[in-house]
Structure 1
Amino acid sequence: MKHLITTAALAMAAATPALSETWTMTSTWPSSLELIEIDKHWVDLANKLVDDDKLTIEFYDGGSLVPAGEVFGAVESGTIQAGADWPGYWAGRNSAFSPLSTTASLFNAVDYVNWIQEWGGADLYNEVYGQFGMVYLPYGVTNNESGFRTVSQPIRTLDDLQGLRLRLSGLEQGKLLEKLGGNQVSMAGGEIYQSLERGVIDGAEFSTPNVDFSGGFQQVTQYWSTPGWHQSSSVFGVMINKGSWDALDEETQERLKIAADATMLWSLSFTERRATEAYAQFQEAGTEITRLDDEALERVQQLANETITEVACENPMSAKVYASQLTYLQEYSTWRDASAPFNLGRTPNGPDLAAIQACAE
């Protein structure tokens, strides 16, 4: 009798479904900035792909749970299970986060997709985030950022950068701007509008045209200098607490990865379409739009290469990431250049690979 009861109990336990996991997720982006649409797209797709009895992700707009700068710590500590971000915000913790988020005059959006998917980039995200007890799924990519928007002083040449106080994110980006005579001012995206309006800064960069327009920058700036040489592309994704990730079964983990891959492709086409629409909106708003000439961009490239090498060689992990990216560019250049003019972007004359590889050892 005792054996029958034990057998029945085991059978009931085996038939009982595991309790569903519920994750709390927030973002570094407030609801007013269009970048949050990438986060929402991944959450919606993940919730559709994953069975309800396995996992449900509850998403909260940036700032509603913790300030943007505290999202990293909240995920690391397990206070929340997931947080959407732009990796460059954490470069103060490890400078390797910088090339995981963007590059100065190096990668375009397709380069990041290629590198992440097929040239080992995904493993490096997890190696760096793994040092902080997190798993990372890159799921968003945008092409080069708008450039600089200024209140009353247009930037038509590099000389026009002299002495300007410009809001700018990024470790390498700030050092590069200083070499060009400008001054980096760091602040959260939600503070840019008021800082421009009050004259705290002379100008700012933030994101792609559509995101900038959603931030209302056309209301407080008159001039727009393109292209976005400081951030030739950007990557976004989700930080996941390692303990929370490990609690999922392999099938659920795989479905979250599939949602990330699908969202990345969607994000590129979505933001390029929206950037095109926003470009016209800035024109209609009366913004003067100018482009730096090729000679100026070549000068920027030279200084960017110098800056990347300096920063990479201060941290072996940063050098490892850059060396991987430069190896990809070198290998891909054979086919990319051979298929011009129908290729996917340029092969930049970037930093010396051997010099950076030496710093990674």
Structure 2
Amino acid sequence: MTNRRQFLKTAGIAGAATLAAPAVHSQSVIKWRMQTYAGPALAEHVVKPAIDSFNKVAEGQMEIELYYADQLVPTGELFRAMQRGTIDAVQSDDDSMASPTEVTVFGGYFPFASRYSLDVPVLFNQWGLGEIWDEEYSKVGVKHLSAGAWDPCHFATKDPINSLEDLKGKRVFTFPTAGRFLSQFGVVPVTLPWEDIEVAVQTGELDGIAWSGITEDYTVGWADVTNYFLTNNISGAWCGSFFANMDRYEELPEHLKELLKLTMDSSHYYRQHWYWGGEAKLRTEGTKMELTTIPDEEWAQVESAAKVFWDEIAAESETKAKIVQILKDYNASMEKAGRPYRYS
């Protein structure tokens, strides 16, 4: 009887261990590979702190491996790689990663869609853009996780820009939609890998860059190879997002989905103050670039052209028309609200 009891006791322990084995297996580390549009120097600010924080708080349950611009796949192939599951997540704008959606043209710098960086999160969280983005990406097997604002879009050039005439013939690295818009003013858009831009300016392959504000120009080294910074901008804030492969996202337990959301919110907040403070500080205290300005009455031609461009985009589809109408209504509301929302 004693031997039997001992056997049952031992068998019970063994059985419990056997039953526990799958639970231990299910707790193996979830690993994601995320690629950002940003090179290493820029990523140190726009994404790496957030990912480091996520990995720390996840406490071994999940780890996100971060890769920089073009490190795993070219930026223009990011969407397809994520859709296939070659990589699990992406930080980019819709335009640069060539996503096949109705909202793609509005990513990055859609001309004059925003005046300030806070316009972007308000549009997504209060004016319905978030729901539209979610719906459009769900159709193609990708989860749109969160949108946020980056810096305004300015020209950094080797030669001074003091009039629209000075833009003619300038070979400029910029975003697809911004390039499409600017080409009517004689700008020649050029597409190159991100890490090649600095050398391309030095060798004369590029005359300038319309890809960022002055904070990035200093951070990534472009202020070292350009001489002038145009204070006029074609957008008040870059619109970028975090995305994930839908299947990989749905596999996550709820608490890790929530942690991912909190981490992205933290990333958005950091960029808000890093860029806002940096743009002002470097314009007033920076020593590497001379500021130039196109007079307001002349720059008004560019702003008027943007309204025509919006209508051209709206005519392309029902979804695009809906987004353009939201942008019009939002900006009209901001103008009506007056200071500090808009200074007419």
TM-score by length of 1: 0.81
1:156 Cα deviation (Å)?
A: 0.5
Match of 1:30 among 36, 39, 62: 39
- The corresponding residue for 2:223 is 218
Corresponding residue for 1:359? none
Relative to 1, partners in 2 of residues 1:261 and 1:325: Cα closer, same or farther, differing over 3 Å? Answer: farther
1:187-232: per-residue Cα shift (whole Å, max 9, x none)? 3332222221111232221212121123322332222222222x32
Residue equivalent to 1:241:
245
Partner of 2:174: 168
Note the C-alpha offset of 1:77.
0.7
Cα 1:136–1:289 shift into 2, 3 Å: same
Whether the 8 Å contact between 1:164 and 1:183 is mirrored in structure 2 is yes
Any idea what the Cα deviations from partners look like across 1:41-66, whole Å, max 9, x if unmatched? 3212323443533x221222333322
TM-score (norm 2): 0.85
Q: Identify the range of structure 1 (254-263 vs 311-320) with the bigger mean alpha-carbon deviation.
A: 311-320
Rounded to whole Å, the distance in 2 between the matches of 1:158 and 1:122 is 35
- Contact in 1 for aligned 2:151/2:212 (Cα 8 Å): no
Contact 1:78 1:241 in 2 (8 A): yes
1:111, distance to aligned residue in structure 2 (A): 0.9
Structure 2 counterpart of 1:103: 110
Please tell me whether Structure 1 or Structure 2 has the larger radius of gyration of its CA atoms. 2
**What's the counterpart of residue 3 of structure 2?**
none
Q: Which of 279, 292, 296 pairs up with 1:275?
A: 279
Task: Specify the alignment match of 1:76 in structure 2.
Answer: 83
Gaps of 5+ in 2: 1-7
2:291 is aligned, of 267, 289, 292, to 289
Match of 2:152 among 138, 144, 152: 144
| Superposition deviation, residue 143 in structure 1 | 3.6
Cα separation, partners in 2 of 1:150 and 1:17, compared to 1, 3 Å:
same
Number of residue-to-residue matches in the alignment? 333
CA displacement at 1:114 relative to structure 2: 0.8
Q: Does 1:47 align with 2:55?
A: yes
Q: Which amino acid aligns with 2:269?
A: L
- Aligned residue for 1:350? none
Name the % identity. 23
Cα 1:148–1:101 shift into 2, 3 Å: closer
2:203 counterpart residue number: 198
Structure 1 portions without partners, runs of 5+: 348-361
Return closer, same or farther for 1:292/1:170 CA change in 2, 3 Å cut-off. Answer: same
Task: For 1:58 and 1:24, locate their aligned partners in 2 and report how far apart those are by CA, in whole Å.
Answer: 5
Secondary structure of 1:29's counterpart equals coil
Q: What amino acid is the match of 1:243?
A: D
Q: Shift of residue 273 of structure 1?
A: 2.3
SS of the aligned residue for 2:34 comes to strand
Structure 1 runs (4+) greater than 4 angstroms displaced: 4-11, 13-17, 331-334
Q: 1:155 aligns with which of 155, 161, 178?
A: 161
* Bigger mean CA deviation after superposition, 59-68 or 248-257: 59-68
The equivalent of 1:64 in structure 2 is: 71
Using the TM superposition, give the Cα deviation of residue 15 of structure 1 relative to its aligned residue in structure 2, in angstroms. 6.2
Give the match for residue 317 of structure 2.
Answer: 315
